[in-house]
Amino acid sequence: MNRVTSATLPNSLHASTDSRFQLFATTAPGLESIAAGELKSLGVRGRQEIGGVAFAGDLDRLYEANLWLRTVSRVVARLGHFHASTFYELERRARKLPWNLFLPASGPVRLRVTCRKSRLYHSDAVAERVLSAISESASRVIEASDDAFKGEEDDADGADEAERADKEGDRATGVERPAQLFVVRIVHDQVEISADTSGELLHRRGYRQEVAKAPLRETLAAAMVLASGWRRDEPLLDPMCGSGTIPIEAALIARGIPPGAQRKFQFMNWPTFNESRWNSILDNARSSATRSNAQINGSDRDAGAIGAAERNAERAGVADMIHFGETAISDSMADLNKIEKGAGWVLTNPPYGIRIGEGEDLRNLYARIGAVLKTKPGWRIGVLTPDTGLIGQTRLSMASRFDTRNGGIPVSFMVSAKPGESRGRVR
């Protein structure tokens, strides 16, 4: 017999911290294992799926996931899963879901609908039926946002979601009454409905109000730092830092500062929101931040980018531990000799074009970086690149830590081997 299955939720609108939710942390493709590791550090055992990590937790876990996860695009609560091959079946079963737990007292609703290989294939018609079920369940007319019936062509939760938002603009941004997003996915007549808990995508920490050309998302920069093997007390250099995202994310990690400490979340608009509990979690997180002696450096030949990086670091609260300099790549690499501590890391996201200016092509750039690192025993490099063939120019033994997309371009994060370890050169 087909029936609705949903998270274990209370009948009361005021959920306690003991209430269990089925949650899903969405990531860019390729970052699932890193996000699973982050959840593990929070004491949560997750299950990796395509496009993210599924896990269960109470309200505290929901709050902590949004506050602490650095590589995740958003966290959704899965309301229910059921079979529906007709609109009658869809609406009848959708009415049984606990919508009131996730509906703000006022404000519009937005639906993102995906239909694949199902008898219900018209996303707008599906959205209309679900909106009707929400209104009936809430016993009031639910206002639809201007794009309430927005359909998506993705094939997994979170697949390139941040990139879509970058292109379209996050519709939660700048809205006086932020729309509550519900995600509806129908695959092979199986319906899954989730409620967004995050609001603006989680890569929007709040500090990066100025960007340089081809900015790197904060979640991807954090993934590079976490996947590299860099330790919090080791020196780190980004010789092409742009607006400073990699050094800033590294500094936040080094100090144990939660990435979501300066922003608001959609769950704060729910009737289930426990403000005193959230404030306690936030205060504990802020008080757990520590001092760090890590030497973190960022350089770029663009004076405007360096100015933006310095102001971004100030907003992030880590300006005192990052040294930014307006320096050409060759000079910043030469400055490695000035770093007092021993072994360290170069983490960077080089330009993806054919040329980087002044007659210097990318092959020469990679070759020069490799040549410098060969003179620095113990130093390692992590580089995000769309062309693994360029890695061969470094003459270093490197291997991929993850493959994902950046700005719609497939990229690999390549990391050099530990001293004395041979992985075979990637060409």
Per-residue pLDDT tens over the stretch 2-57:
444 444 444 333 445 557 899 999 999 999 999 999 999 999 999 999 999 999 99
Tokens 């292109």: give the residue: 167
> In CATH, which superfamily holds the domain spanning 218-259+294-416?
Vaccinia Virus protein VP39 (3.40.50.150)
Residue range 197-243, pLDDT digits in tens: 999 999 999 999 988 777 899 999 999 999 999 999 999 999 999 99
DSSP, residue by residue, 43-81:
T---EEETTEEEEEE-HHHHHHHHHH-SS-SEEEEEEEE
Q: Report residue 210 CA to chain centroid gap.
A: 18
Look at strands 190-196 and 180-187 and give their pairing: antiparallel
3-state SS record for 237-302: EECCCCCCHHHHHHHHHHHCCCCCCCCCCHHHHCCCCCHHHHHHHHHHHHHCCCCCCCCEEEEECC
Q: Would you give the DSSP letter of residue 11?
A: S
Distance CA 272, CA 99 (A): 12
Closest CA to 99 of 219, 224, 6, 205: 6
Distance CA 364, CA 386 (A): 16
Residue 362 has pLDDT above 60, yes or no: yes
Residue 167 has pLDDT above 80, yes or no: no
Q: Is 48 left (phi over 0), alpha (psi -120 to 50) or beta?
A: beta
Q: Quick one: pLDDT at residue 160?
A: 56
In terms of CATH architecture, what is 5-196?
2-Layer Sandwich (3.30)
Beta strands in 330-379 (DSSP E): 345-348
Q: Where are the domains of the chain?
A: 5-196, 218-259+294-416
Of the ranges 80-94, 128-142, 147-161, 406-420, which one carries the lowest mean pLDDT score?
147-161
Asked if 406 and 413 touch (Cβ cutoff 8 Å), the reply is no
Asked if 411 and 388 touch (Cβ cutoff 8 Å), the reply is no
Give the chain's mean pLDDT.
86
